[in-house]
């Protein structure tokens, strides 16, 4: 339905993160999407860190271990920990902050390649 709506001009743009039949996504629809990400709920540094920490905790509990690598004790810091919004118009601050943190266009290019 979405492909038809895009082809007929009923809708003029798409941002898609959740795909039918993942991981076998519709390549034609992917090419039509303006922004396309690979269902990234656990894709962020925070998500990966949390999943790794939880896995390690479960392994420790199951095997009665006490292994906690120092690197997992703290969440990794972002590349740019401070985003200065003083020069950004109030209506654009949220979008600016998001784009400073994560650029979905890079993910789109990688997914479409």
Report the C-alpha gap between 10 and 70 in whole angstroms: 53
Q: What is the pLDDT along the chain (113 residues), one digit of tens a residue?
A: 999 999 999 999 999 999 998 888 999 999 999 999 887 666 677 777 888 888 888 999 999 988 877 666 677 677 788 999 999 999 999 999 988 887 888 889 988 98
Report the C-alpha gap between 21 and 28 in whole angstroms: 14
Residue 64 · residue 43 · CB < 8 Å:
no
Rg (CA), the chain: 19
Report the C-alpha gap between 80 and 101 in whole angstroms: 8
Q: Give Cα 86 to chain centroid, integer Å.
A: 26
Residue 44 · residue 102 · CB < 8 Å:
yes
Residue 66: strand, helix, or coil = coil
Whether the model clears a pTM of 0.85, i.e. scores above it, the answer is no
Token pair listed for 7:
């082809």
């Amino acid at each position: 339905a979405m492909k038809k709506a895009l082809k007929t001009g009923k809708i003029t743009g798409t941002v898609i993160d959740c795909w039918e039949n993942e991981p076998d996504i519709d390549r034609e629809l992917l090419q039509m999407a303006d922004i396309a990400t690979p269902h990234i709920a656990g894709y962020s540094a925070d998500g990966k860190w949390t999943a790794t920490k939880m896995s390690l905790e479960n392994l420790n509990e199951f095997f009665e271990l006490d292994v906690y690598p120092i690197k997992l004790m703290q969440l990794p810091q972002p590349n740019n920990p401070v985003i200065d919004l003083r020069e950004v118009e109030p209506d654009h601050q949220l979008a600016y902050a998001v784009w400073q943190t994560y650029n979905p266009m890079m993910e789109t290019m990688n997914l479409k390649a």
